[in-house]
Every structure is written in C-alpha cells, then in structure tokens.
C-alpha cells in the first residue's frame, strides 16, 4: 500500500536544517528553548538605544546643540555595529544547535529566479502596511488636516544641522548590504522559526518578533514623536514579512525585499546631503 505524503511545509524535511520538523527535533533533544528566541526578538532594542546614547555623548562632547537629533540621523552608522553583535550572537546560537549560520537563509540556486521575483513583489506589498501604519498613527495623534501638515516631520527633523557626509555615505552604501540579511536572519530566520514551533500557536511566533522588529526601528526615527509612528509602521511591516515567511518558508525573497526598503531611505538622504549640503 502506497504511503501518503504529509501535506504542507510541516511534513517536509528542510535540507537546511531550519524547518519546522528539524527545529522540533532539536527542541526535544534540549538544544532549542524559548529563552533565546525571545531574547533575539528584543535584544536589538537596548543595543539600538545604547548606540544612540553613545552617539549622543560624542556629539554633545563636540559641542553640538543638536546632539540627540544627530544621534537619530546617524543611526545607520552605529547600527552597523549592532548588526555585527547580532551576527556574532546568531553564529553562536546556530553552532549551539548544530547547524550553520547560512542555514537560516536557506539559499538554493535553483530557487534564485523565483526568489528575486517574489522579493520584488514583497517589496511593494510590504510598503502598504508600513506607510498605512505610520499615517494612521499620525492621524490618531494629530487628527484631521494637521496630520497632513505634520506628516513630513515624521521623516525629517525640523531642526537644522549638518550630518558628516561620510556617515551619510556609509548609511547609503554599507548599511543596506549588512542590515537586510542580518535582520531577516535575526527576526524571521531564527526567532520566528523557533517561536512558531515552541510558542504553542503559530501566530505567537509570528507576532512576537514582529513587535521586536517594530520597536527597534524607534532608533531610526529622526524625531522623538516620529519614534512612535515608526514603531507602529515597522511592526506592521514585520508582521507582514512574518506571515509571508510562515506561509512561503523562504527567507531569501524577504532579504531581497528588505534591501531596497533600506536603500530607498538611505540613498535619498545621501542625495539630499549632496544637493543641499
């Protein structure tokens, strides 16, 4: 009698070792628990504010009256070091489980064309929850026409100050290349994949890293008031990305969608710095 193949992704073995069945098997052997996936979901937030605090101290020490605003404006620079810390943590955690760091990405050459096409699709799809969340939060905060008038200040400070050009260039050309793969490995590839298995209910595993993802983006907001709007908008982006990853079980399309999302913001800042000085 012919055996039926299990339906869905949960029944298939993942050759990278980062599939549901493989993670569940390691959990039964005591190699995976809830603790580290929860830590990974939120650890970037204190690291982000540590970087912001140190940057503030540096600019304040240099006598700048806009030390805090400069700290927010140069977040893409110090976040590179946050990413390196998180990459080291992921390297240790994956080795602890007996898999490789690259297994979190699950790159497969035969899926590359498909991954690129889906990456382009998800880039545009995920812009919808991002900007909807930011705008609706501004609408609630300001109400009526004032929300439209103040919308621009969510993305740019009203204060006038100059960011070192080399820092802006770093943010435009280095940050997106480093940030996109590490953030997706961090939140979706590691934290979500394990919390979906260990959290009891898949929606918990999707939601928790999405919240951590949104909260860490408070450090990228150019103003204090914008930090709240960023937290909501990027939590919704993370939730959308989490649902896509849970259904599609491919991380590469999300990395490819994440890169232009970062690049659009940072390159625009670089062009503005060149044009307006």
What pLDDT score does 184 carry? 98
The owner of tokens 């569940």 is 24
| pLDDT tens, residue by residue, 211-228 | 999 999 988 887 777 888
What pLDDT score does 264 carry? 82
| pLDDT tens, residue by residue, 58-112 | 999 999 888 888 888 888 899 999 999 999 999 999 999 999 999 999 999 999 9
pTM, full prediction: 0.88
Which residues of the chain have a pLDDT value below 50?
1-13
Q: In whole angstroms, give the CA distance from residue 102 to residue 110.
A: 16
Let me know the angle formed at the C-alpha of 49 by 103 and 175, rounded to the nearest 5 degrees.
Answer: 50
What pLDDT score does 199 carry? 83
Phi first, then psi, for residue 222 (nearest 5°) are -75, -15
Q: What is the residue extent of each domain of the chain?
A: 32-276
């Amino acid at each position: 009698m012919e055996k039926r193949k299990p339906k869905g992704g949960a029944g298939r073995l993942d050759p990278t070792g980062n599939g549901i069945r493989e993670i569940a098997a390691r959990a039964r052997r005591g190699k995976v628990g809830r603790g580290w996936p929860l830590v990974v979901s939120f650890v970037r937030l204190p690291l982000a504010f540590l970087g912001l605090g140190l940057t503030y101290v540096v600019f304040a020490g240099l006598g700048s009256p806009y030390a805090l605003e400069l700290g927010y404006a140069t977040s893409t620079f110090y976040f590179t070091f946050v990413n390196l810390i998180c990459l080291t943590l992921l390297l240790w955690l994956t080795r602890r489980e007996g898999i490789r760091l690259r297994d979190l990405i699950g790159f497969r050459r035969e899926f590359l064309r498909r991954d690129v096409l889906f990456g382009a699709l998800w880039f545009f799809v995920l812009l919808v929850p991002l900007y909807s969340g930011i705008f609706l939060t501004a609408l609630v905060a300001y109400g009526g026409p004032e929300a439209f008038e103040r919308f621009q200040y969510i993305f740019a400070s009203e204060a006038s100050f100059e960011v070192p050009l080399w820092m802006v260039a770093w943010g435009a050309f280095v940050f997106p290349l480093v940030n996109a793969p590490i953030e997706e490995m961090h939140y979706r590839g590691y934290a979500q994949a394990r919390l979906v298995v260990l959290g009891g209910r898949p929606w918990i595993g999707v939601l928790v890293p999405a919240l951590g993802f949104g909260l860490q983006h408070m450090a990228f907001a150019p103003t204090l008031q914008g930090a709240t709007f960023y937290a909501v908008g990027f939590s919704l982006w993370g939730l959308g990305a989490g649902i896509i990853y849970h259904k599609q079980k491919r991380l590469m399309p999300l990395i490819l969608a994440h890169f232009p999302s970062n690049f659009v913001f940072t390159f625009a800042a670089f062009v503005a710095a060149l044009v307006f000085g």
